[in-house]
Amino acid sequence: MHVVTIASMTPDTEAAVSVDASGNVQWGDKLVVNPWDEYAITEAVLLKEAHSGQVTVMAVGAEAQAEALKHGLAIGCDQAIRVWDPALVGADSLAYARAAAAAIRKLGDADLVIFGKEMSDSASDQHVFQTARKLGWTMIGFVAKIEAIDFAARTIRVRRMTDQGSEVVSGRLPAVISVLKDINEPKYPTFIGIRKAAKAEIPVWSLADLGLSAAAVAPRTAISGHRELPRREGSAEIIEGASAQEQAAKLVARLLEEKIL
């Protein structure tokens, strides 16, 4: 059994986001492990504990992404790999998927790839489905529970959420899945795990290592700019009265005057 989980660092969801006059997004200074990825990493480790085998945590991105990999190592992943090349600067989701799929193929024996539902900064999951397509593997999104998985028989059965409720889906391995927060309780690093992760040497695979050219990951789309949403403005009127009944009567009269009632 070899499970790969993809992790990333994203701006803290509690950070105040703003756009300056030049259209540059200010995310704040703090990056955290993408909250959705915490569930993906934990699910991969839980599968290892239940079935034995190996878990690889992988990231596509610059040096800052190494912190997500250390988090994975600290909670039980066996090895970490970072994919990066200067040609990936400004990569769109398709370029990201091409690089991720090539790295997964390079591992050679991956059975299952687990993504978090989406990246919290872009609120996008295109890269998940594109990675599965580039691999040519089964894709199942919005997984709330892995009901059964048989690595020997190469089968997986999951419960996934839909707009109407949930459904049980079966598929063949190898597969790519994206998981929701209901799938588990995220594991947290232990002191020993943190020390182990701090000492780990994390290899960086370039495009050349993956057999890809710069042209292969040239972005097909680009962000032309950012702008803040218009600020919502309004006013409030306090209705005074000697009693609740008097206030209610004044409120009804005011609503009638504004033709709301």
- Model pLDDT for residues 201-213, shown as the tens digit of each residue: 999 999 999 999 9
Residue 166 placed within a domain: yes
**Amino acid letter at 26?**
Q
Residue 185 placed within a domain: yes
pLDDT (tens digit per residue) in 188-202: 998 999 999 999 999
Residue 246 confidence (pLDDT) above 80: yes
pLDDT score for 26: 77
Domain count, the chain: 1
Residue 256 placed within a domain: no
Distance CA(177)–CA(43), nearest Å, equals 11
CATH number where 14 lies: 3.40.50.620
Cβ within 8 Å of residue 214, ≥6 positions away: 85, 87, 207
Helices of type H across 136-187: none
pLDDT (tens digit per residue) in 121-168: 777 899 999 999 999 999 999 999 999 999 999 999 999 999 889 999
**pLDDT band at residue 232 under the 50/70/90 scheme:** confident
Full domain range(s) for residue 32: 2-217
pLDDT score for 155: 97
Residue 121 placed within a domain: yes
